[in-house]
Amino acid sequence: MSWHATILTLFPEMFPGPLGVSLAGRALREGIWRCEALDIRSFATDRHRTVDDTPFGGGAGMVMRPDVADAAISAAMPDGDARPLVYLTPRGRLLDQAMVRDFAAGPGVVLFCGRYEGLDQRVIEARGMREVSLGDYVLSGGEVAALALLDACVRLLPGVMGASESAVEESHSAGLLEYPHYTRPAEWQGRAVPPVLLSGHHAEVARWRRTQSEAATRERRPDLWNRMQVAGAQAPA
Protein backbone atom coordinates (compact mmCIF):
# COMPACT_ATOMS: atom_id res chain seq x y z
CA MET A 1 0.00 0.00 0.00
CA SER A 2 1.44 3.35 -0.97
CA TRP A 3 1.81 6.28 1.43
CA HIS A 4 -1.35 8.33 0.96
CA ALA A 5 -1.59 12.12 1.13
CA THR A 6 -4.92 13.93 0.86
CA ILE A 7 -4.88 17.71 0.78
CA LEU A 8 -7.95 19.81 1.53
CA THR A 9 -7.50 23.16 -0.14
CA LEU A 10 -9.21 25.98 -1.99
CA PHE A 11 -6.47 25.65 -4.64
CA PRO A 12 -6.24 21.96 -5.64
CA GLU A 13 -4.34 22.96 -8.78
CA MET A 14 -1.32 23.68 -6.55
CA PHE A 15 -0.79 19.90 -6.06
CA PRO A 16 1.38 17.97 -6.70
CA GLY A 17 3.04 21.12 -8.13
CA PRO A 18 6.77 20.96 -7.42
CA LEU A 19 6.33 17.45 -5.97
CA GLY A 20 5.61 16.19 -9.48
CA VAL A 21 9.30 16.48 -10.43
CA SER A 22 12.65 15.10 -9.21
CA LEU A 23 12.74 12.53 -6.38
CA ALA A 24 9.15 13.02 -5.22
CA GLY A 25 7.82 13.07 -8.79
CA ARG A 26 9.56 9.82 -9.65
CA ALA A 27 8.24 8.22 -6.46
CA LEU A 28 4.74 9.43 -7.35
CA ARG A 29 4.95 7.85 -10.80
CA GLU A 30 6.31 4.63 -9.27
CA GLY A 31 3.36 4.50 -6.86
CA ILE A 32 5.50 4.78 -3.69
CA TRP A 33 3.12 7.54 -2.61
CA ARG A 34 -0.11 8.97 -3.95
CA CYS A 35 -1.55 12.41 -3.63
CA GLU A 36 -5.04 13.76 -4.12
CA ALA A 37 -6.23 17.31 -3.58
CA LEU A 38 -9.89 17.95 -2.72
CA ASP A 39 -11.44 21.35 -3.35
CA ILE A 40 -12.97 22.58 -0.07
CA ARG A 41 -15.28 24.84 -2.08
CA SER A 42 -17.03 21.85 -3.62
CA PHE A 43 -18.44 21.08 -0.13
CA ALA A 44 -20.17 24.47 0.22
CA THR A 45 -23.92 24.14 0.05
CA ASP A 46 -25.17 27.58 -0.96
CA ARG A 47 -25.61 28.99 -4.45
CA HIS A 48 -22.46 31.12 -4.16
CA ARG A 49 -20.28 28.26 -2.86
CA THR A 50 -19.37 30.23 0.25
CA VAL A 51 -16.59 28.78 2.41
CA ASP A 52 -15.98 31.71 4.79
CA ASP A 53 -17.83 34.24 6.92
CA THR A 54 -17.13 37.24 9.14
CA PRO A 55 -15.55 36.59 12.57
CA PHE A 56 -17.77 36.59 15.65
CA GLY A 57 -16.51 39.35 17.94
CA GLY A 58 -15.55 41.54 14.99
CA GLY A 59 -12.16 42.26 13.50
CA ALA A 60 -10.56 42.13 10.11
CA GLY A 61 -10.77 39.32 7.59
CA MET A 62 -12.88 36.22 7.16
CA VAL A 63 -12.93 32.82 8.88
CA MET A 64 -13.37 29.42 7.21
CA ARG A 65 -16.74 27.90 8.12
CA PRO A 66 -16.71 24.75 10.32
CA ASP A 67 -19.63 23.05 8.52
CA VAL A 68 -17.98 23.27 5.10
CA ALA A 69 -14.58 22.19 6.49
CA ASP A 70 -16.18 19.27 8.33
CA ALA A 71 -17.96 18.02 5.20
CA ALA A 72 -14.66 18.15 3.28
CA ILE A 73 -12.88 16.20 6.06
CA SER A 74 -15.63 13.54 6.07
CA ALA A 75 -15.17 13.07 2.33
CA ALA A 76 -11.38 12.83 2.69
CA MET A 77 -11.41 10.41 5.62
CA PRO A 78 -13.76 7.45 5.49
CA ASP A 79 -14.49 5.75 8.83
CA GLY A 80 -11.44 3.91 10.09
CA ASP A 81 -8.95 6.08 8.20
CA ALA A 82 -5.91 5.91 10.48
CA ARG A 83 -4.03 8.86 8.96
CA PRO A 84 -3.34 11.89 11.14
CA LEU A 85 -5.44 14.95 10.29
CA VAL A 86 -3.20 18.02 10.26
CA TYR A 87 -4.22 21.67 10.19
CA LEU A 88 -1.36 23.82 8.93
CA THR A 89 -1.31 27.01 10.96
CA PRO A 90 1.22 29.48 12.39
CA ARG A 91 -0.43 28.71 15.77
CA GLY A 92 0.73 25.10 15.58
CA ARG A 93 3.69 23.15 16.90
CA LEU A 94 6.78 23.77 14.78
CA LEU A 95 7.38 21.07 12.17
CA ASP A 96 10.67 19.28 12.88
CA GLN A 97 12.48 16.22 11.59
CA ALA A 98 11.15 14.00 14.41
CA MET A 99 7.57 14.88 13.42
CA VAL A 100 8.41 14.30 9.74
CA ARG A 101 9.86 10.86 10.55
CA ASP A 102 6.72 10.04 12.49
CA PHE A 103 4.39 11.03 9.63
CA ALA A 104 6.55 9.19 7.07
CA ALA A 105 6.43 5.99 9.14
CA GLY A 106 2.60 5.95 9.13
CA PRO A 107 0.03 5.30 6.38
CA GLY A 108 0.05 8.93 5.16
CA VAL A 109 -1.48 12.27 6.13
CA VAL A 110 -4.57 14.40 5.57
CA LEU A 111 -3.60 18.06 5.38
CA PHE A 112 -6.05 20.93 5.78
CA CYS A 113 -4.82 24.18 4.23
CA GLY A 114 -6.26 27.34 5.73
CA ARG A 115 -6.85 30.63 3.96
CA TYR A 116 -8.15 34.03 5.11
CA GLU A 117 -7.77 34.38 8.93
CA GLY A 118 -7.89 30.62 9.35
CA LEU A 119 -10.35 27.90 10.38
CA ASP A 120 -13.16 28.04 12.96
CA GLN A 121 -11.70 26.65 16.21
CA ARG A 122 -14.65 24.30 16.84
CA VAL A 123 -13.89 22.02 13.89
CA ILE A 124 -10.21 21.89 14.92
CA GLU A 125 -11.29 20.63 18.36
CA ALA A 126 -14.16 18.42 17.21
CA ARG A 127 -11.90 16.61 14.73
CA GLY A 128 -8.85 16.52 17.02
CA MET A 129 -6.75 18.14 14.32
CA ARG A 130 -2.98 18.30 14.89
CA GLU A 131 -1.94 21.92 14.49
CA VAL A 132 1.44 22.20 12.77
CA SER A 133 3.41 25.29 11.77
CA LEU A 134 6.08 25.56 9.10
CA GLY A 135 7.84 28.38 10.93
CA ASP A 136 7.48 31.62 12.80
CA TYR A 137 6.13 33.69 9.94
CA VAL A 138 2.74 34.03 8.26
CA LEU A 139 2.08 32.54 4.82
CA SER A 140 -0.96 33.53 2.79
CA GLY A 141 -2.26 29.95 2.86
CA GLY A 142 -1.45 26.47 4.12
CA GLU A 143 -0.59 25.08 0.67
CA VAL A 144 3.11 26.00 0.67
CA ALA A 145 3.42 24.56 4.18
CA ALA A 146 1.66 21.37 3.02
CA LEU A 147 4.07 21.04 0.08
CA ALA A 148 7.05 21.45 2.41
CA LEU A 149 5.69 18.85 4.87
CA LEU A 150 4.99 16.38 2.06
CA ASP A 151 8.41 16.89 0.47
CA ALA A 152 10.13 16.23 3.80
CA CYS A 153 8.06 13.04 4.36
CA VAL A 154 8.20 11.59 0.85
CA ARG A 155 12.03 11.65 0.66
CA LEU A 156 12.10 9.39 3.75
CA LEU A 157 9.80 6.73 2.27
CA PRO A 158 11.55 3.43 1.49
CA GLY A 159 12.83 3.40 -2.09
CA VAL A 160 12.71 7.16 -2.64
CA MET A 161 16.30 8.14 -1.83
CA GLY A 162 19.22 6.17 -3.19
CA ALA A 163 22.34 5.52 -1.11
CA SER A 164 23.88 8.66 -2.63
CA GLU A 165 21.14 10.79 -1.08
CA SER A 166 21.26 9.12 2.32
CA ALA A 167 19.36 10.83 5.16
CA VAL A 168 21.60 9.33 7.83
CA GLU A 169 24.11 12.17 8.23
CA GLU A 170 22.09 15.17 7.16
CA SER A 171 21.08 18.20 9.23
CA HIS A 172 18.69 17.45 12.10
CA SER A 173 19.12 13.67 11.81
CA ALA A 174 21.10 13.63 15.08
CA GLY A 175 20.06 17.00 16.49
CA LEU A 176 22.96 18.85 14.82
CA LEU A 177 23.26 20.89 11.63
CA GLU A 178 25.26 19.19 8.93
CA TYR A 179 28.95 19.95 8.19
CA PRO A 180 29.82 22.01 5.05
CA HIS A 181 30.33 20.31 1.69
CA TYR A 182 33.04 20.73 -0.97
CA THR A 183 33.61 19.26 -4.43
CA ARG A 184 35.97 19.78 -7.41
CA PRO A 185 37.86 21.91 -8.24
CA ALA A 186 40.07 21.64 -5.15
CA GLU A 187 40.87 25.33 -5.53
CA TRP A 188 38.32 27.83 -6.79
CA GLN A 189 38.76 31.61 -7.01
CA GLY A 190 41.72 31.35 -4.66
CA ARG A 191 39.73 29.36 -2.10
CA ALA A 192 41.14 25.96 -1.19
CA VAL A 193 39.17 23.00 0.13
CA PRO A 194 40.02 22.28 3.81
CA PRO A 195 43.17 20.08 3.52
CA VAL A 196 41.85 17.37 5.85
CA LEU A 197 39.24 16.48 3.23
CA LEU A 198 42.02 15.65 0.76
CA SER A 199 44.06 13.67 3.31
CA GLY A 200 42.37 10.29 2.85
CA HIS A 201 42.25 9.82 6.67
CA HIS A 202 38.69 8.73 7.27
CA ALA A 203 38.85 9.09 11.05
CA GLU A 204 40.25 12.62 10.78
CA VAL A 205 37.65 13.58 8.19
CA ALA A 206 34.92 12.26 10.50
CA ARG A 207 36.39 14.20 13.45
CA TRP A 208 36.64 17.42 11.39
CA ARG A 209 33.05 17.05 10.19
CA ARG A 210 31.80 16.48 13.72
CA THR A 211 33.63 19.61 14.94
CA GLN A 212 32.18 21.65 12.05
CA SER A 213 28.67 20.34 12.79
CA GLU A 214 28.97 21.24 16.44
CA ALA A 215 30.39 24.71 15.73
CA ALA A 216 27.66 25.54 13.20
CA THR A 217 24.92 24.33 15.55
CA ARG A 218 26.33 26.23 18.54
CA GLU A 219 26.68 29.42 16.53
CA ARG A 220 23.55 29.36 14.35
CA ARG A 221 21.06 27.38 16.41
CA PRO A 222 21.71 27.77 20.14
CA ASP A 223 18.21 26.36 20.71
CA LEU A 224 19.21 23.02 19.11
CA TRP A 225 22.61 23.08 20.81
CA ASN A 226 21.11 23.60 24.26
CA ARG A 227 18.60 20.81 23.65
CA MET A 228 21.50 18.48 22.72
CA GLN A 229 23.37 19.41 25.92
CA VAL A 230 20.30 18.74 28.07
CA ALA A 231 19.61 15.42 26.29
CA GLY A 232 23.29 14.43 26.71
CA ALA A 233 23.27 15.32 30.40
CA GLN A 234 20.11 13.25 30.93
CA ALA A 235 21.30 10.20 28.96
CA PRO A 236 22.21 7.20 31.11
CA ALA A 237 26.00 6.79 31.48
Ligand X SMILES: C[S@@+](CC[C@H](N)C(=O)[O-])C[C@H]1O[C@@H](n2cnc3c(N)ncnc32)[C@H](O)[C@@H]1O
Q: Hey, which bits of the chain come out as E strands?
A: 3-9, 33-39, 52-53, 63-64, 85-94, 108-113, 130-133, 187-188, 191-192
59 marked as binding residue: no
Q: Which residues contact 109 (CB under 8 A, 6 or more apart)?
A: 5, 6, 83, 84, 86, 103, 149, 150, 153
Select from 8, 113, 197, 224 the one that contacts ligand X (CB under 6 A): 113
Q: Smallest Cα–Cα separation from 110: which of 34, 164, 197?
A: 34
Rounded to a whole number of angstroms, the minimum distance from the CB of residue 156 to ligand X is 20
16 belongs to the binding site for ligand X (CB under 6 A): no
Size of the site for ligand X (CB under 6 A): 19
Site for ligand X in 58-77 (CB under 6 A): none
The widest CA-to-CA distance across the chain, in whole angstroms, is 72
Select from 7, 35, 68, 88 the one that contacts ligand X (CB under 6 A): 88
Site for ligand X in 119-158 (CB under 6 A): 133-135, 137-142, 145
Select from 91, 210, 220, 227 the one that contacts ligand X (CB under 6 A): 91
182 marked as binding residue: no
Q: Which helix (H) or strand (E) holds 146?
A: helix 143-154
Binding residues for ligand X, rule: CB under 6 A, are 88-91, 113-115, 117-118, 133-135, 137-142, 145
